[in-house]
DNA sequence: GTCTATACTTCGATAGAC
DNA sequence: GTCTATCGAAGTATAGAC
């Protein structure tokens, strides 16, 4: 009788699971809790997913595919960034932040990863690679190219990348990882902090006034 | 018959709980698991602790008291740091790192906090305050004092503190928060990274060659 | 203070009617 | 594809003998 909307039940389950996992973590959310929120019985869920674990796997798979589809080569990254002035560079940083955390669904999955990485080695590897190591590699390549072109002072590009990018991790750790914020008022404050950060770096590494 | 060592059972339980909670998180460790590791029956544990939650509360209480006993005022911090040369300053940073994470027991409790802060608002508040906000305040006060004395370039001390201290959070997030490391070989690498970081900052903010 | 035994709850998952 | 009903396992915690 109510089965007229059978299309979408699977997706509704998955969206609900993402919401709940992001709030409480995979282990602290029960099948009963998910199905109650969706409005179905526990047993019905198993017509769509073989196990609770499979739901988590699909969620991580989704994030992984998002990154595959959006990834660019280091060469492209260098070409895009090395010629920018400070203001344009800041906008680029904000865009990157938005690519990672701008969409609520992706943000929630990052939170799930942040929680699961303590229990799951694969989750930790993905988290470390995508959120830390890969961005550092790109950032280092960009700084190295800028040094070779004489745009910024000579130095250790890896150390410079760590110093610059650490701030992004600080923002994530302090304002994004634990989900009690979601207030748009803080956005302007974050933007000001990023501006101040880039101002500092511009002054610190500029060979000439950019 | 074996009751000859009744002194210490409570402490053994607590130490075992810290070990297990740090590895798997509070919720993923059962009373059965703890008591089995200690070598007692489940019911015996309740002669020492009223509940599982009380054990966690005591663990956090312990960390909290450690910080109370070691805390110094901002004025003291400024006096200690503002006159240091870069090498001395680096040693100071390493000492601070060791104060937070040098003792295995404290390191484990930080890991428990890292996990619990997603489920427990008080844990998150403590984590945020002790690991991020308070150190940033101190660091900012130090930079502000150095600016006033003309030791470093004028600028926004808060932004400078964020830029400098973010690196410490990067190290924690990347190498300490998830406990799969514990290899002393990486220590030298971390020391090199810290040295490079301080070198970069020294060059960036020094008014004169220090 | 430790033991045996057990109460009570919640969990993930399954069987089978419709 | 959803339901009712239920299973077996694992969780926290308690009662009472020793």
Query: Does the residue A166 lie in any domain?
Result: yes
For the cut 70, the answer to whether the pLDDT of residue B7 exceeds it is no
What domain range includes position B8?
3-45
User: What are the beta bridge partners of residue B206?
Assistant: B152
Q: Which ranges in A46-156 belong to alpha helices (H)?
A: 52-70, 74-81, 86-101, 104-116, 121-128, 134-148
Q: Cα-Cα-Cα-Cα dihedral of B122, B127, B128, B132, to 10°?
A: 160
Query: Does the residue B153 lie in any domain?
Result: yes
C-alpha B183 chain-centroid distance: 18
Query: Does the residue A14 lie in any domain?
Result: yes
Q: Are residues A51 and A12 in the same domain?
A: yes
Q: Which of A17, A51, A68 is the last residue of a domain?
A: A68
Q: Are residues A90 and A124 in the same domain?
A: yes
CA distances from A198 to A136, A182, B115 (A): 16, 24, 31
| pLDDT, tens digit (0-9, with 9 covering 90-100), for B142-163 | 999 999 998 899 999 999 999 9
Q: Are residues B89 and B183 in the same domain?
A: yes
Query: Does the residue A26 lie in any domain?
Result: yes
Q: Which of A53, A68, A83 is the last residue of a domain?
A: A68
The answer, for B195 touching chain A at a CB cutoff of 8 Å, is: no
Q: Are residues B165 and B98 in the same domain?
A: yes
Q: Which of A68, A98, A125 is the last residue of a domain?
A: A68
B159's tokens: 């932004």
Q: Are residues A184 and A113 in the same domain?
A: yes
Which pTM value belongs to this model? Answer: 0.94
Report the alpha-carbon angle B128-B122-B74, nearest 5.
Answer: 40
| pLDDT, tens digit (0-9, with 9 covering 90-100), for B28-37 | 999 999 999 9
Nearest-neighbour CA in chain A from B119: distance (Å): 6
pLDDT in the model for residue B4: 43
Q: Are residues A191 and A155 in the same domain?
A: yes
Residues from chain B contacting residue A20 (CB–CB below 8 Å):
none
Best mutation site among A117, A156, A173, A186 for testing chain B: the one with the most B CBs within 10 Å? A173
Query: Does the residue B51 lie in any domain?
Result: no
Best mutation site among A20, A118, A121, A147 for testing chain B: the one with the most B CBs within 10 Å? A118
* Contacts of residue B29, Cβ cutoff 8 Å, sequence gap at least 6: B17, B20, B21, B23
pLDDT in the model for residue A35: 98
| pLDDT, tens digit (0-9, with 9 covering 90-100), for B92-136 | 999 999 899 999 999 999 999 999 999 999 999 999 999 999 999
Q: Are residues A97 and A159 in the same domain?
A: yes
Q: Are residues A177 and A115 in the same domain?
A: yes
For the cut 50, the answer to whether the pLDDT of residue B202 exceeds it is yes
Q: Are residues B122 and B189 in the same domain?
A: yes
The answer, for B189 touching chain A at a CB cutoff of 8 Å, is: no
Whether B197 sits inside 8 A of A159 (CB atoms) is yes
Query: Does the residue A210 lie in any domain?
Result: no
Q: Are residues A123 and A89 in the same domain?
A: yes
The answer, for A175 touching chain B at a CB cutoff of 8 Å, is: no
For the cut 50, the answer to whether the pLDDT of residue B210 exceeds it is no
CATH of the domain at B14: 1.10.10.60
Q: Are residues B145 and B193 in the same domain?
A: yes
Q: Are residues A38 and A93 in the same domain?
A: no
pLDDT range class, residue A3, cuts 50, 70, 90? very low
* Contacts of residue A176, Cβ cutoff 8 Å, sequence gap at least 6: A101, A107, A110
**What's the total number of domains in chain A?**
2
Judged by DSSP in three states, A206 sits in strand
pLDDT in the model for residue A19: 98
Cα end-to-end span (Å), chain A? 68
Q: State the CB neighbour count (10 A cutoff) for residue B187.
A: 11
Per the document, the length of chain B is 210
Query: Does the residue B102 lie in any domain?
Result: yes
Query: Does the residue A171 lie in any domain?
Result: yes
Judged by DSSP in three states, B194 sits in helix
For the cut 70, the answer to whether the pLDDT of residue A201 exceeds it is yes
From the CA of A39, how many Å to the C1' of D7? Answer: 24
pLDDT in the model for residue A124: 97
């Amino acid at each position: 009788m109510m089965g007229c909307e059978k299309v979408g039940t699977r997706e509704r389950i998955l969206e609900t699971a993402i919401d709940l996992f992001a709030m409480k973590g995979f282990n602290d959310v029960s099948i009963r809790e998910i199905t109650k929120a969706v409005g179905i019985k526990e047993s019905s869920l198993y017509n769509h997913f073989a196990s609770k674990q499979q739901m988590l796997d699909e969620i991580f798979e989704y994030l992984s595919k998002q990154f595959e589809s959006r990834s660019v080569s280091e060469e492209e990254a260098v070409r895009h960034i090395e010629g920018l002035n400070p203001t344009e560079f800041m906008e680029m940083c904000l865009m990157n932040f938005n690519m990672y955390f701008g969409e609520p669904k992706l943000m929630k999955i990052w939170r799930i990863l942040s929680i699961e990485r303590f229990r799951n080695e694969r989750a930790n590897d993905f988290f470390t690679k995508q959120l830390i190591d890969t961005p550092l590699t790109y950032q280092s390549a960009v700084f190295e190219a800028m040094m070779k072109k004489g745009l910024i002072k000579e130095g250790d590009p890896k150390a410079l990348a760590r110093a610059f990018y650490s701030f992004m991790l600080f923002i994530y750790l302090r304002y994004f990882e634990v989900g009690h914020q979601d207030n748009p008022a803080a956005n302007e404050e974050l933007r000001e902090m990023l501006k101040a950060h880039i101002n500092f770096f511009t002054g610190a590494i500029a060979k000439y006034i950019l």
